[in-house]
Structure 1
Amino acid sequence: MSGGSKYALARVAVIVRAPAGWLWWSGLLGAGIGAFVPGLTGLRIGVLAGAALFLIAAAVVFAVRRKRYTELARSASRAGRAVFLQDRAVTVRNWRRAHRWWLLLGFLVAVGSSFALPCAVGLGLAGAGAGLWAKARWLGALERSGEALLWVRAEWAQASPAAPRVTGYLTTGLAAGDAAPGGAKVTAGR
């Protein structure tokens, strides 16, 4: 997999983390707008249902495919010199550009569903964002424990870095690239 041909690598944790902020903020905004919509069930029931959805979505998103991530990380091979390490900003921009209509649709569904159940779907979206953020942090801990950053070929991971199309990860040292373990921006002190 790490032969002589040149290709771009994207950080696994950055791809996982890319939608987290958008889901979090669009979910909270959708829930906030929903609080002012006179829904069929009333605000109290909507908020309670939303709190349950938040917890369920966060737990499910955090847990889904963790075994596959672990297996891919365990069998990862060292990246060759012929690869290009994609910048964090490029990875995030590419992911958001490819999924912007889904993010917009999620926000519109969160607002529209408030006419039936205020705040609930918005809080569920926010929970999905929180689950992705937690999964990126978990991947960061996996990277630190293995003392290697996890990368995937950019063209393989359009939907997910754990998709069936992904046949393996590549690794570099912890100092490679411009993102910290877990996919966060590198702070000035590092």
Structure 2
Amino acid sequence: MGRGAQSLARVAVIVRAGAAPLWWPGLLAAAIGALVPGLTGRRIGLLSGAALFLITAAVVALVRSRRYAELAGGATRAGRSDFLQDRAVTVRNWRRGHRWWLLGAFLVAVASAFLLPGAGGMVLAGAGAGLWIKAVRIGQREHRDDALYWVRTDWAERGRPAGKQVEGYRSTGPMAGDAAPGGARRRR
């Protein structure tokens, strides 16, 4: 990279990168948990799991939403020398950095089935759904503002595009990069 150039990753892609690795293992853990009678019984476990799914999805979707809005509102234009990271690279980096956390969460969700059948898996799936909802909301803002929001990769190293170390976002036009608003794959 040239002088003053920085590597940028899409905010919506970073948020969306965790949705599928939480959703599918969460559903698998809930299905495994439904097979185990557990201490409370299947009915209580699955009903409480459904309630926990809704609560977790709402909390994950709403947490730090004000911080995202502040950073997007103060976004500066990306420079010509800035390097825009591909969607696949961003997703791969996020998943590699969190693979042990994801494995541990899956094992805890399966183990919790012996106490409350299916509830741990539903919490995990709810976190995935909440991240997907948050990415969709970011995509709606990008569509409304007719801009895509990017964050420096060194600021978002731990997969937190709105963490304390993030000082601001950069913006580009809606056709930059290889991901659609919201972080999904761009259809050709």
User: Would you say same fold, with TM above 0.5?
Assistant: yes
* Structure 1 position 4, deviation (Å): 4.8
Distance in 1, matches of 2:77 and 2:181, equals: 17
Task: Name the amino acid aligned to 2:171.
Answer: T
Other-structure match for 1:183? 183
Other-structure match for 1:22? 21
Other-structure match for 1:169? 169
Other-structure match for 2:135? 136
Other-structure match for 2:34? 35
Count of aligned residue pairs for this structure pair: 186
Distance in 1, matches of 2:139 and 2:57, equals: 18
1:69 pairs with 2:68: yes
- 3-state DSSP of counterpart to 1:118: coil
* Structure 1 position 38, deviation (Å): 2.3
Provide Cα deviations, 1:89-146, integer angstroms capped at 9, x if missing partner: 0000000000000000110011000011000010011011001000000000000111
After superposition, the CA RMSD in angstroms is: 1.1
Other-structure match for 1:49? 48
Can you give the 5+ residue segments of structure 2 that lack an aligned partner in the other structure?
A: none
- 3-state DSSP of counterpart to 1:35: helix
Structure 1 segments, 4+ long, off by >2 Å, are none
Identity %: 66
Task: Name the amino acid aligned to 1:167.
Answer: E
Distance in 1, matches of 2:64 and 2:183, equals: 18
Distance in 1, matches of 2:53 and 2:45, equals: 12
TM normalised by structure 2 equals: 0.97
* Structure 1 position 7, deviation (Å): 1.8
- 3-state DSSP of counterpart to 2:35: coil
Other-structure match for 1:98? 97
Can you give the 5+ residue segments of structure 1 that lack an aligned partner in the other structure?
A: none
Task: Name the amino acid aligned to 1:23.
Answer: L
Distance in 1, matches of 2:18 and 2:72, equals: 21
Distance in 2, matches of 1:126 and 1:149, equals: 27
* Structure 1 position 172, deviation (Å): 0.4
